[in-house]
């Protein structure tokens, strides 16, 4: 189900954000992703918000957050405690601290550990969209 969404493609830019509702800087930057999601709705850009909320807090934290925002951003909950394995697979530069953002197209990618603002997101999407 997720596979077609995450496969790097030569004509689509993928924006992946790792976040959680308990992470204050993540919640602060969430609206920037919502804005970009709207702004680029007619372009070849896909978004995926990967939540690292504790699965036990799904009903209490994540679902109410999403319901309240009435957000159309695609969200998945990543529940794999073997973080030592998958963090390096996401990006070897990543320490594991939240938030983290990956923007890529084909084999070109930009990685942010720490908060981003709207310009960080849009400038990199624009850059990747215009690459041949």
Partner 1 sequence: MKRLIVIFATTLLATSLFAQGLKVGDKAPDFRLKNVDGKIVSLSDYSKAKGFIVIFSCNHCPYVKAYEDRMIDLHKKYEPKGFPVIAINSNDPEVVPEDSFDKMVERAKQKLFPFVYLFDEGQKVYPQYGAARTPHVFVLSKQGKEFIVEYIGAIDDNYKDPSAVKEKYVEQAVDALLSGKKPSTTETKAVGCSIKVKK
Nearest residue (CB) to partner 1, 37 versus 104 = 104
The answer to whether residues 121 and 36 touch, using CB atoms and an 8 Å cutoff, is yes
Q: Which of 41/114 has CB closer to partner 1?
A: 114
Calpha distance 15→72 (Å, rounded)? 15
**Which of 11, 42, 56, 59 lies at the binding interface for partner 1 (CB under 8 A)?**
56
- Residue 77 or 129: the one with the smaller Cβ distance to partner 1 is 77
CA distance 68 to 34: 13
Dig out the tokens for 59 from the structure.
């009903």
Does residue number 132 form part of the binding site for partner 1 (CB under 8 A)?
no
For helices 24-39 and 118-130, angle between their N-to-C axes, nearest 10 degrees: 40
Stretch (H or E) spanning 104 = strand 100-105
Residues 63-102 vs partner 1: string with x where CB under 8 A?
A: -------------xxxxxxxxxxxxxxxxxxxxxxxx--x
Binding site for partner 1 (CB under 8 A): 1-3, 6-8, 18, 20, 22-25, 50, 52, 54-56, 76-99, 102, 104, 107, 109, 113-115
């Amino acid at each position: 189900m997720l596979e077609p969404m995450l496969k790097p493609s030569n004509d689509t830019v993928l924006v992946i954000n790792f976040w959680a509702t308990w992470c204050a800087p993540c919640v602060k930057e969430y609206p920037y992703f919502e804005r970009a999601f709207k702004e680029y709705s007619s372009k070849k850009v896909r978004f995926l918000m990967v939540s690292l909320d504790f699965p036990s807090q799904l009903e209490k934290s994540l679902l109410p957050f999403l319901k309240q925002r009435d957000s159309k951003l695609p969200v998945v909950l990543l529940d794999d405690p073997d973080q030592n394995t998958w963090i390096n697979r996401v990006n070897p530069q990543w320490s594991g601290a939240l938030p983290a953002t990956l923007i890529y197209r084909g084999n070109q990618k930009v990685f942010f550990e720490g908060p981003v603002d709207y310009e960080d997101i849009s400038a990199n999407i624009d850059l990747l969209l215009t690459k041949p």
